[in-house]
Chains A and B, each alone.
Chain A
Amino acid sequence: MSLFGWCQWLEHTPAALAIAESTWLFPLIEGSHILALPLSVGMIVIFDLRLLGLAFHSDPASRLMKEVLRWSKSGFAITFITGVLLFMTHAGKAYGNAFFRAKLLLLALLGINAVVYQTIFYPKMAEWDLASRTPLGARLCAGLSLIAWIGVIVCGRTMAYQF
C-alpha cells in the first residue's frame, strides 16, 4: 500500500470516523491541541529567550532549562497525542497539503536541533551557566528553535483553512 493509500485508509478507520463525526470530540481534541501550546511551545520559547540573552539574563540557564522542560514535557505529550488524533481524521487531505508537509519538516528540524543542543551544548552548560552572553552555537540553536516553532504554528493554522 502506498503512503497516500495508507493515509486514506487511516481516515476511514472506525476511530477516525468516530472523532470526525462526533459533535464534541473533534472540537475538544482540536482545542486541546491549540491550548496546550503555551505549556509546550511557550515554555521552550522562554528558554530560547534566555539563551539569546533576551530574558532571565544572568539567572542560571541550567536551572531554567530543567524547570521549563519539566512543564513542557507534559505540554508536548498533549500536543502530540491530540495531533496524531487530528491527523487521523484528515490524513488523506493532510498527505498532499504543502503546509502540513512543511510543518512535519520543521518538526523534524526541531528534533535534530534539540538533539544537537543536548549532545554539544548541554554537557558544557556549567561553564556559562550564569553568563548573559551564551556561546554562539547555543544562540544559533535558540534562534532556530524560535523561528521554527513560529513556523510550525503558522503552518498548522494555515493548513486547517485548506481542508
Chain B
Amino acid sequence: MVSQLLTLVQWCSNSAPIVFIRDSKYGMPGAQSVHLVGLTVFLAAILVLDLRLAGIGMMDWSLDGLERQLKPWATGAVALVLLSGVLIFLGTPSKYLASNPFRIKMAALGLATVFHVGVVRRFVTGQPAARPRWSEIAVAAVSLTLWFLVGWAGRAIAFVP
C-alpha cells in the first residue's frame, strides 16, 4: 500500500507538468507565492472567527454571520493553498518525505481540520448564550494555536531537517 503510494508520488513527480514547473525559473517561486496569498486570506478568515469567538474582536457581527460572509473566500483560499501545496510537494517529494517539520505540519493540519469541523463549527452555529465564556476563549486559543502551528512547521521545513 505504502510502496504503491510512493510509486504514484514518484510518477506524478516525473510527469510533464511538474517537471515543467520544477525546471522553469519562476515555477516554484510562483507556486510558493500562491501558497502564501492563499494562507493570508484563509488564516485571516480563521483569525476573524476566533477573535469573535474569544470575544475580543468583530463584536458587531454574529459568529454565523461572519462565517457566512467569509466562507466563500476562505474556501477559495483553501483551494489555492492545497493546489499549490501539492505542486510544491511533488516538486521535490523526497525532501518533504524526509522532513520532520513537514510531518509535524501534516499532523497539525489534520488536527486543526478535525478541531475546526468537530468543535469550532459547533460553536459558530450553536446558541451563543448557552456556553460559559471560558470555553469559547479556550476553543479560539486551541484553534489559533493549531492553525499557526501548521504555518510555523511549514516555515521550519526550510531550516530544520
Contact = CB atoms under 8 A, between A and B. Distances in A.
Interface size class of A (residues with CB under 8 A): 20 to 34
Given A34-B36, A38-B39, A153-B36, A67 B58 contact: yes
A161 B22 CA distance: 13
Interface string B51-78: 1000001101100000001101100000
A27 interface: yes
A56 interface: yes
A161 B40 contact: no
A71 B51 contact: yes
Nearest to A42: B44
A27 B156 contact: yes
B73 A49 contact: yes
A5 interface: no
Interface string A101-140: 0000000000000000000000000000000000000000
B26 A158 contact: yes
Contacts of B134: none
A29 B44 CA distance: 20
Interface residues of B, number: 34
Nearest to A161: B29
Contacts of B107: none
A42 B43 contact: yes
Given A31-B155, A67-B57, A161-B29, A38 B36 contact: no
B151 interface: yes
A39 B73 CA distance: 16
Given A27-B156, A71-B57, A157-B36, A35 B148 contact: yes
18 contacts: A31-B151, A31-B155, A35-B43, A37-B36, A37-B43, A38-B40, A38-B42, A38-B46, A39-B44, A42-B41, A42-B45, A43-B47, A59-B61, A70-B57, A71-B51, A153-B33, A153-B40, A154-B37
Given A35-B148, A38-B42, A39-B47, 20 more contacts: A31-B152, A31-B156, A35-B151, A37-B36, A38-B41, A38-B44, A39-B44, A41-B40, A42-B43, A42-B44, A43-B44, A43-B48, A45-B44, A55-B69, A55-B70, A60-B60, A63-B60, A67-B57, A153-B36, A153-B40
Interface of A: 26-27, 30-31, 34-35, 37-39, 41-43, 45-46, 49, 54-56, 59-60, 63, 67, 70-71, 150, 153-154, 157-158, 161
